[in-house]
Chains A and B, each alone.
Chain A
Amino acid sequence: MRYDLTLEIGYDYGAPAPALRTVLRVMPRQLAGEQNVEAAHLQVTPEPEEIAHRADFFGNPVTDMGFQVPVTALSARITARVERLSRPLQLDLSPGLSGLAAEVAGHRGLTADAPHHFLADSPRVPSDDAIERFTRDSLDPGMTALGAVRAVGHALNAHMRFDAGATDVNTPPPEAFAAGHGVCQDFTHVMIAGLRAVGVPAGYVSGFLRTTPPPGQKRLQGADAMHAWVRAWCGAELGWIEYDPTNDLMVGTDHIVVAVGRDYSDVAPVRGAVRLSGGQASRHSVDLVPLDA
């Protein structure tokens, strides 16, 4: 499936922000065999005095920007054409959860895709007893790792209600879980905490969701802004799979990947643009339109 993507982000500052530095993770990611970025363009206003592109530890494209003149408003517009390739349906070759632990232990090395990065607590995903209990309750004995991921995601989707106004970007996952509602970020963080608690390496994916559904289907939740979902490691054979707990589905060709990490703190689309004082307003809009539909 090919898409035209438009993302607009804007900040207005109450008082001019001097010596602003920001880091952006907003460009769609090139993923061999999964996602092909045909063209991508970033336009920032005002034009930064410094701009540099690099990849971070997890291989996500990053843009570093610096402004030497005080900035009163900042906006970024990203346009891109991206093809998301459909992955052939695979047999569930993942091991059971006890076998998974052995496969994790057998994986040596710490490259970006190694499962080891995704088991411990991370800055925004602490372990939580309630989430762990809920996760264990959604598992059946003898489940494969993949089966476990689907079961946990499904149970969570049934347990939590999508509510765009109930949480904010800094709500801790245990709080969102206890309250039983949240947005894609909360669903994703809670599911990550649960999977890690039962030994499944789990991480965070940020990206986009197609804005309009295929004819006859329901519009997906979270398409108006940047979206988030879970990736989980299901053993050496199957590797990483992606699951969208907000919409209760295995990720297919409706999702465009921007960045992966342990949690939101690794992939935040914009860092450094939020000032501690002075007041500000932000804007954020997404359009992901399929070309072939």
Chain B
Amino acid sequence: MRAARPAEDDRMDQTADARDAVAGLIGNYTVPDGVADEMIGPDGRVRPVWQPFIERFAQLAPDDIARRFARGDRYLRDAGVFFRQSTGDGPADRDWPLSHLPVILDETEWLGIADGLVQRCEVLEQVLADLYGPGWLVREGMLPPELVAGNPGWLRPLVGERPPSGRFLHFVAFELGRAPDGSWFVLGDRTEAPSGAGFALENRVATMRVFSEPFGHQSIHRLAGFFRAFRSALERSATSLDGRMGILTPGLGTETYFEHAYIARYLGLMLLEGEDLTVVDGRVMVRTVAGLKPVSVLWRRLDSAFADPLELDERSALGTPGLVRALRDGNVCMANALGAGLVQSRAFLAFLPRIARYLTGESLKLPNLATWWCGQARERDYVAANLERMMVGDAMSQDLPFEADGAQLIAGRFRDGRTVDPAAWVQAQKGAVVGQEAVTLSTTPVYADGALHARPVMLRVFAARTNAGWKVMPGGYARIGGSADATALALRRGGRVADVWIVSDRELERETLTDSSGPFRRAKDSLLPARAADNLLWLGRYVERAETMVRLLRAYHLRLAETGRTDDLRVARIDAHLRRLGVPRDVSTPGAVTTALDAAIRAASKVRDRFSIDGWVALETLRHDIVEEVEAVQAGDEAARALSQFLRGSAGFAGLVHDNMYRFVGWRFLSIGRALERALSMVRTLRDFAAPDAPEGCYDIAIEMGDSVMTHRRRYQIETNRNTVIDLLALDNRNPRSVRFQVAQIHAMAAELPGAEENGALSPVMRAAMRIDTRLATAEPAEMDGRALDALARDLTDLSEKITATWLV
């Protein structure tokens, strides 16, 4: 172990206090022997590029540090950034594990890394073009044929097909580590569907909140320019002028879904799942609420094999039948091309150095993880003889050897505890496995318990093909081990993540995502996929459903508090009504409310790219409150009060949605969903509580359900009777809780949606809404008996089905 010393101080302005503060901060910082450190240079002193940061950080009082870290964490929580963890019981979300200190790299060193990565991108592109094209590399003996022919990543339906954009790779990531001698090397290439760029952006925003003034930001390279250049290259590679650009995601089930939604929102791309797309005449079309619209660029975050069940993995339920056909016809640019993951197979690292020389005449500027393919006798013997410094695992795997399910054999020990002889096992496995050097990574400081600690770090960096060639993002996504053990790097086993700062010695220009030089132009209105519209509609319905249940529960508890008797006739009627809605008998547990809110949150998660962060937070708060506040209280008065509290919260959610959500197509579906649910539940309420045989006091319950106690008192100078209740809650077009008001809302919304009229004739939805409205406008309260209410419920259900048929399938 070696201890760190402060930098040689040759500046006059540094006070003795500042020197002491730095010494105090790093005095106990120890770097393991034989390991490079990011902050401490080979001379044992703080690297110059870290010096200004460390000086400022050392000046911060512990409570200031805590406050700053909390600010970053709060940003991430509010932005809804979380880490989805795969556990034995399915996915679980946990807080985003930001290590608040950035990893800082000098611009000059970075330029060298970037240069090496650009070379690597070009080599990988050529390798793919050959393996999906003429096949010289195999024929010339540069690659063993079985590494291609037996590789699940080599997709035969794509062999011989030149990608429509002419390129296989558009966006690539690399895992980098720093060797003990201080040089950088590549641990793995990520060409299939690399994730992390969006997380890097979020880490940047959070870290900047933590290190606001007095930390200077002027010399940190910004990330926006990189994304702008990539977006504009995607636009240029579009195969047609009218086509849209989208991100193709596997959907909510994937660990990185949040990132897909974030990047889609950030770059203004549609977030698309396989089922949103269909192929017609060799063109990829997205099903939108305005019909089928062409898509010309897909940034693919879905694994290739799942992209098309017709020609690739037949079991895939995530793909789009015919997608390969559309590629064959040259009608969509896919970034990256299907099958691009082939070159990230581990075994390729064993051959890439030689291939690079063969293809380009140059050696790789950045070496990669030393790898031996055990299909060759000499290499196999070497691996078997040096197991203590090897990770041995599946040769064709596209995962990194140190990830959770990576190598099977590490340093001569089987991960699953098998006791067979490892050397004999390697000899028997032959070409199925590779040995990879068990690398030592560099360390970087993390802050804990008032001090800095050295932890192993690995960087994920990103390269994009732009109109001016490959460009490397000046920053990255650092993954930091939870302990000093380098194999603990896998994030899912307790590691942390951090921002990466590339720092220049000069002030840099500010960059933003939008190019401010051109004239102002409003972006094309984005299209709403039918599936997203469906989720928004159901979000509206579920939130309203939860609210209805809460109103009923409150009415129940108020009556219970008043009489103290569960056999009160009104209490019994509410109970019966609740059970018809699926709420269990023990109404003190609002399980059905939670179920409805969970469904609302699920629907909202599927439209994260279109749903505001505030709306999301409000929804999660509602869910939290119903569990924490309502479940714990006593039946009766206390419960009624807690439920009223909930209703105020839910009014807050509605306010957010209605005041802040842009009046666009998506908002209309959300509102239609709310109106439909509200209309249906009001009809059901009237059926039970405004029935002629309802026990005394039930009319008041109906009015309470309609939140119309004051209005009723003002409007009707007579005692509550069935006609006044029906008039106010079903027929009155000025009461925002009445059935007629909801139908008018739906009618107004539908009129603004595509296809409201077809060739001058009203669409079926418009006709149905208008018919219900006319019926309600002309009805006398007395006519609205049980039979009429049942008919009204059927008409509303029919309207709902017509809405689905028109826009949502």
Q: Once the chains are docked, how many angstroms separate the CA of A57 from the CA of B154?
A: 12
A281 CB to nearest B CB, Å: 21
Q: Once the chains are docked, how many angstroms separate the CA of A271 from the CA of B149?
A: 23
Q: Mark B131-147, 1 if CB is under 8 A from A, else 0.
A: 00001001101000110
A217 CB to nearest B CB, Å: 37
Cβ of A50 under 8 Å from chain B: yes
Assuming A56-B157, A108-B141, is B279 touching A66 (CB within 8 A)?
A: yes
In the complex the two chains form, is B280's CB within 8 Å of A68's CB? yes
Stretch at the interface among B311-319, B508-516, B662-670: B311-319
Q: Once the chains are docked, how many angstroms separate the CA of A62 from the CA of B243?
A: 29
**Chain A 246-293 interface residues, beta-carbon cutoff 8 Å to B:** 265-266, 268, 271-272, 276
In the complex the two chains form, is B310's CB within 8 Å of A107's CB? no
Q: Mark B278-294, 1 if CB is under 8 A from A, else 0.
A: 11111000000000000
A115 CB to nearest B CB, Å: 9
Interface range on chain B: under 10, 10 to 19, 20 to 34, or 35 or more?
20 to 34
Q: Once the chains are docked, how many angstroms separate the CA of A37 from the CA of B767?
A: 58
Q: Once the chains are docked, how many angstroms separate the CA of A272 from the CA of B319?
A: 12
Cβ of A139 under 8 Å from chain B: no
Residues of B within 8 A of A32 (CB): none
Residues of B within 8 A of A120 (CB): 146, 149-151
Interface range on chain A: under 10, 10 to 19, 20 to 34, or 35 or more?
20 to 34
Q: Mark B152-167, 1 if CB is under 8 A from A, else 0.
A: 0000110110000000
Residues of A within 8 A of B422 (CB): none
Assuming A109-B139, A120-B149, is B279 touching A271 (CB within 8 A)?
A: no
In the complex the two chains form, is A110's CB within 8 Å of B148's CB? yes
Q: Once the chains are docked, how many angstroms separate the CA of A21 from the CA of B149?
A: 28
In the complex the two chains form, is B313's CB within 8 Å of A123's CB? yes
Residues of B within 8 A of A66 (CB): 279-281, 322
In the complex the two chains form, is B321's CB within 8 Å of A272's CB? yes
**Chain A 1-58 interface residues, beta-carbon cutoff 8 Å to B:** 19, 21-23, 49-50, 52, 56-58
Cβ of B412 under 8 Å from chain A: no
In the complex the two chains form, is B322's CB within 8 Å of A116's CB? no
Residues of B within 8 A of A109 (CB): 135, 138-139, 145
**Chain A 96-121 interface residues, beta-carbon cutoff 8 Å to B:** 107-110, 114, 116-117, 119-121
Residues of B within 8 A of A57 (CB): 156-157, 159-160
Q: Mark B744-769, 1 if CB is under 8 A from A, else 0.
A: 00000000000000000000000000
Cβ of A64 under 8 Å from chain B: yes
Cβ of B116 under 8 Å from chain A: no
Residues of B within 8 A of A271 (CB): 309-311, 314
Q: Once the chains are docked, how many angstroms separate the CA of A66 from the CA of B292?
A: 16
Cβ of B545 under 8 Å from chain A: no
In the complex the two chains form, is A268's CB within 8 Å of B135's CB? no
Q: Once the chains are docked, how many angstroms separate the CA of A187 from the CA of B747?
A: 62
In the complex the two chains form, is A272's CB within 8 Å of B146's CB? no
Residues of B within 8 A of A117 (CB): 149
Assuming A66-B280, A68-B280, is B146 touching A21 (CB within 8 A)?
A: no
In the complex the two chains form, is B310's CB within 8 Å of A21's CB? yes
Tell me the dominant secondary structure on chain A's binding face: loop
Residues of B within 8 A of A52 (CB): 325
Q: Mark B490-510, 1 if CB is under 8 A from A, else 0.
A: 000000000000000000000
Residues of A within 8 A of B145 (CB): 107-110, 114, 116
Looking across the interface, which residue of chain B has its beta carbon closest to that of A19? B278
Looking across the interface, which residue of chain B has its beta carbon closest to that of A120? B150
In the complex the two chains form, is A21's CB within 8 Å of B322's CB? yes
Assuming A271-B314, A272-B321, is B309 touching A116 (CB within 8 A)?
A: no
In the complex the two chains form, is B139's CB within 8 Å of A108's CB? yes
Tell me the dominant secondary structure on chain B's binding face: loop
B370 CB to nearest A CB, Å: 25
**Chain B 60-112 interface residues, beta-carbon cutoff 8 Å to A:** none
Assuming A50-B281, A108-B139, is B309 touching A272 (CB within 8 A)?
A: yes
B327 CB to nearest A CB, Å: 13
Assuming A56-B157, A268-B314, is B135 touching A110 (CB within 8 A)?
A: yes
Partner of A265, one of B139, B159, B280, B314: B314
Partner of B138, one of A22, A108, A272: A108
Q: Once the chains are docked, how many angstroms separate the CA of A49 from the CA of B278?
A: 15
Residues of B within 8 A of A21 (CB): 279, 310, 321-322, 325
Q: Once the chains are docked, how many angstroms separate the CA of A66 from the CA of B323?
A: 12
Residues of B within 8 A of A64 (CB): 322, 325
Q: Once the chains are docked, how many angstroms separate the CA of A68 from the CA of B156?
A: 28
A105 CB to nearest B CB, Å: 9
A249 CB to nearest B CB, Å: 29
Q: Mark A65-83, 1 if CB is under 8 A from B, else 0.
A: 0101000000000000000
A116 CB to nearest B CB, Å: 4
B139 CB to nearest A CB, Å: 5
B321 CB to nearest A CB, Å: 4
In the complex the two chains form, is A119's CB within 8 Å of B150's CB? yes
A18 CB to nearest B CB, Å: 8
Q: Once the chains are docked, how many angstroms separate the CA of A58 from the CA of B157?
A: 10
Residues of A within 8 A of B314 (CB): 123, 265, 268, 271
Looking across the interface, which residue of chain B has its beta carbon closest to that of A49? B281
In the complex the two chains form, is A114's CB within 8 Å of B321's CB? no
Q: Once the chains are docked, how many angstroms separate the CA of A143 from the CA of B322?
A: 46
Residues of B within 8 A of A56 (CB): 156-157
Residues of A within 8 A of B322 (CB): 21, 64, 66
A236 CB to nearest B CB, Å: 14
Looking across the interface, which residue of chain A has its beta carbon closest to that of B155? A57
Q: Once the chains are docked, how many angstroms separate the CA of A272 from the CA of B316?
A: 11
Q: Once the chains are docked, how many angstroms separate the CA of A117 from the CA of B281?
A: 32
**Chain B 314-369 interface residues, beta-carbon cutoff 8 Å to A:** 314, 317, 321-322, 325
Q: Once the chains are docked, how many angstroms separate the CA of A266 from the CA of B156?
A: 10
Q: Once the chains are docked, how many angstroms separate the CA of A193 from the CA of B729?
A: 71
In the complex the two chains form, is B149's CB within 8 Å of A116's CB? yes
Residues of A within 8 A of B156 (CB): 56-58, 266
A187 CB to nearest B CB, Å: 21
Q: Once the chains are docked, how many angstroms separate the CA of A256 from the CA of B19?
A: 87
A53 CB to nearest B CB, Å: 12
Q: Mark A113-140, 1 if CB is under 8 A from B, else 0.
A: 0101101110100000000000000000
Residues of A within 8 A of B278 (CB): 19
Residues of A within 8 A of B309 (CB): 271-272
Looking across the interface, which residue of chain A has its beta carbon closest to that of B322? A21
Q: Once the chains are docked, how many angstroms separate the CA of A57 from the CA of B135?
A: 14
In the complex the two chains form, is A276's CB within 8 Å of B317's CB? yes
Residues of A within 8 A of B149 (CB): 110, 114, 116-117, 119-120
Q: Once the chains are docked, how many angstroms separate the CA of A114 from the CA of B138?
A: 12
A106 CB to nearest B CB, Å: 11
Looking across the interface, which residue of chain A has its beta carbon closest to that of B325? A64
Residues of B within 8 A of A68 (CB): 280
Residue with the greatest number of chain A CB neighbours at <10 A, chosen from B141, B149, B317: B149
Q: Mark A155-180, 1 if CB is under 8 A from B, else 0.
A: 00000000000000000000000000
Partner of A110, one of B138, B279, B317: B138
Q: Once the chains are docked, how many angstroms separate the CA of A19 from the CA of B156?
A: 25
Q: Once the chains are docked, how many angstroms separate the CA of A125 from the CA of B159?
A: 22
Q: Once the chains are docked, how many angstroms separate the CA of A110 from the CA of B132?
A: 11
Q: Once the chains are docked, how many angstroms separate the CA of A119 from the CA of B278?
A: 35
Binding site for A on B (CB under 8 A): 135, 138-139, 141, 145-146, 148-151, 156-157, 159-160, 278-282, 309-311, 313-314, 317, 321-322, 325
Task: Name 24 A/B residue pairs within 8 A (Cβ), A-sorted.
Answer: A19-B278, A21-B279, A21-B322, A49-B281, A50-B280, A50-B281, A56-B156, A56-B157, A57-B160, A64-B325, A66-B279, A66-B280, A66-B322, A108-B138, A109-B145, A110-B149, A116-B150, A119-B146, A120-B149, A271-B309, A271-B311, A271-B314, A272-B310, A272-B321
In the A-B complex, the 6 residue pairs with the smallest Cβ-Cβ separation, listed nearest first, are A120-B150, A116-B149, A57-B156, A116-B145, A21-B321, A21-B322
Known: A58-B156, A276-B317; 12 extra A-B contacts, CB below 8 A, are A19-B278, A21-B321, A22-B310, A68-B280, A108-B139, A108-B145, A109-B139, A109-B145, A110-B138, A114-B149, A266-B156, A271-B309
